[in-house]
Structure 1
Amino acid sequence: MFVLVNLKAYPCDPVAVATAAANAADDSGVRIAVAPQAAHLEAVSETGVETWSQHVDPVEPGSQTGHTLAETVADAGAAGTLVNHSEYRVKLADLDGSVRAAERAGLETVVCANNPAQVGAAAALGPDAVAVEPPELIGTGTPVSQADPDIVEDAVAAAAAVDPAVDVFCGAGISTGEDLVAASDLGATGVLLASGVAKADDPRAALDDLVAPL
């Protein structure tokens, strides 16, 4: 089970959260990664935690002022990137371009999708994984695996029908170890979460609780 912690733009200490995640990963043997804001990628990577970008743009090196270049993200220490998070939706053509840019730079990709139909469309682009996360559940503390488990099962089936090599992650409302177990039972191979760790008073304790059942 892969645990990807998205720090979004929360006013947390990214290095402290990353250090907690690195230690929790070492102690538990669970794969845990942290996705900070772009300006913090290098500092987070230096903690030793697996580091991911929150986004890369569908651009090549050159005259691209203001864009997030996949190669720069990789140079800063990132191993992968999110694309098309519900808080940063992109057009289908740009989504494909971002996945290709990430591949060019040697980055893993997780494409976010709202529902099983979008999961199937995203899987057709050939990312490493697709994360299904209904936007209405994001930040609520109510996981999709509990609110509507059929969405997760249908998402797994939709991805498998298009490309069995594409993993399916479960996002939105994930915050406890029980949520991870439920996601796994429904066929997900990873989870995407944010506030449960980024806004926790003690990120290490939150992570330990999260991975304890694993």
Structure 2
Amino acid sequence: MFVLVNLKTYPCDSVAVAQAAAEVDETTDARIAVAPQAAHLEAVAETGVETWAQHVDPIEYGSNTGHTLAESVADAGAAGTLINHSEHRLTLDAIDGSVRAAERAGLETVVCANNPAQIGAAAALGPDAVAVEPPELIGSGTPVSQADPDIVSDAVEAAAAVDSDVTVLCGAGISTGDDVVAAGELGSKGVLLASGVAKADDPAAALADLVEPL
């Protein structure tokens, strides 16, 4: 099970969260990764935890002020990147461009989408994985696997119908080990979460709780 922690722009200590994640990762068969802000990528990668970018742009080297270049993300130590998070929506063409840019730089990709129909469209672009995240549940504390489990199972079916090599992650409202188990029972191969760890008083304890049932 893949546990990807998105730190967004929360006022947390990204290095401390990364160190906690690295420690917990050594105690479990689950795969744990952290996605900090771009400015913190290198510092987080230096902790030894698997590090992901929150976004890369569909660009190449050149005149692209203010954009995020996939090669720079990889050079900073990232192993993968989120694309099209609900807080950073892209057009379908731009999603495709970002996936291609990530592939060019050797980055693994997770494309986020709101619902099973969008999951199918995202899977057709050939990312490594897709993540279903109904926006209304993000940060709610109510996991999608509990609020509407059919969204997860339908997303798994939608991705498989397009490309069986694209795995599905479950996001939105994940905060406990039971949430992770429920996501797995619905066919998800991992979870994408943020506030449950990034806002926790003790990130290591929060992560340990997430992976303990696995």
Match of 1:74 in 2: 74
**TM-score (norm: length of structure 1):** 1.00
Distance in 2 (CA, whole Å) between partners of 1:168 and 1:179 is 15
SS at match of 2:32: strand
SS at match of 2:188: coil
Distance in 1 (CA, whole Å) between partners of 2:64 and 2:8 is 23
What is the CA-CA distance between 1:62 and the residue it aligns to?
1.1
Letter in 2 for 1:75: D
Letter in 2 for 1:76: A
Match of 2:175 in 1: 175
Letter in 2 for 1:28: T
Distance in 2 (CA, whole Å) between partners of 1:151 and 1:67 is 33
**TM-score (norm: length of structure 2):** 1.00
Distance in 2 (CA, whole Å) between partners of 1:29 and 1:155 is 25
What is the CA-CA distance between 1:63 and the residue it aligns to?
1.1
Distance in 1 (CA, whole Å) between partners of 2:27 and 2:183 is 22
Letter in 2 for 1:110: V
What is the CA-CA distance between 1:178 and the residue it aligns to?
0.2
**1:54-203 alignment, distance < 5 Å:** 54-203=54-203
Match of 1:205 in 2: 205
Which moved further from structure 2: 111-120 or 61-70? 61-70
What is the CA-CA distance between 1:193 and the residue it aligns to?
0.1
What is the CA-CA distance between 1:29 and the residue it aligns to?
2.8
Moved runs in structure 1, 4+ residues, more than 6 A? none
Distance in 1 (CA, whole Å) between partners of 2:62 and 2:88 is 23
What is the CA-CA distance between 1:51 and the residue it aligns to?
0.1
Distance in 2 (CA, whole Å) between partners of 1:135 and 1:62 is 34
SS at match of 2:26: helix
Q: Establish whether residue 11 from structure 1 lines up as the match of residue 11 from structure 2.
A: yes
Distance in 1 (CA, whole Å) between partners of 2:59 and 2:26 is 35
Match of 2:2 in 1: 2
Distance in 2 (CA, whole Å) between partners of 1:61 and 1:21 is 32
Listed one character per residue, the Cα deviations across residues 86-130 of structure 1 (whole Å, up to 9, x for unaligned) are 000011111100000000000000000000000000000000000
Aligned Cα root-mean-square deviation (Å):
0.4
Q: Which runs of 5+ in 2 are unaligned?
A: none
Letter in 1 for 2:72: T
SS at match of 1:16: helix
Letter in 1 for 2:25: A
Distance in 2 (CA, whole Å) between partners of 1:208 and 1:191 is 14
What is the CA-CA distance between 1:30 and the residue it aligns to?
1.6
Q: Which runs of 5+ in 1 are unaligned?
A: none
What is the CA-CA distance between 1:21 and the residue it aligns to?
0.2
Listed one character per residue, the Cα deviations across residues 57-83 of structure 1 (whole Å, up to 9, x for unaligned) are 000011111110000000000000000
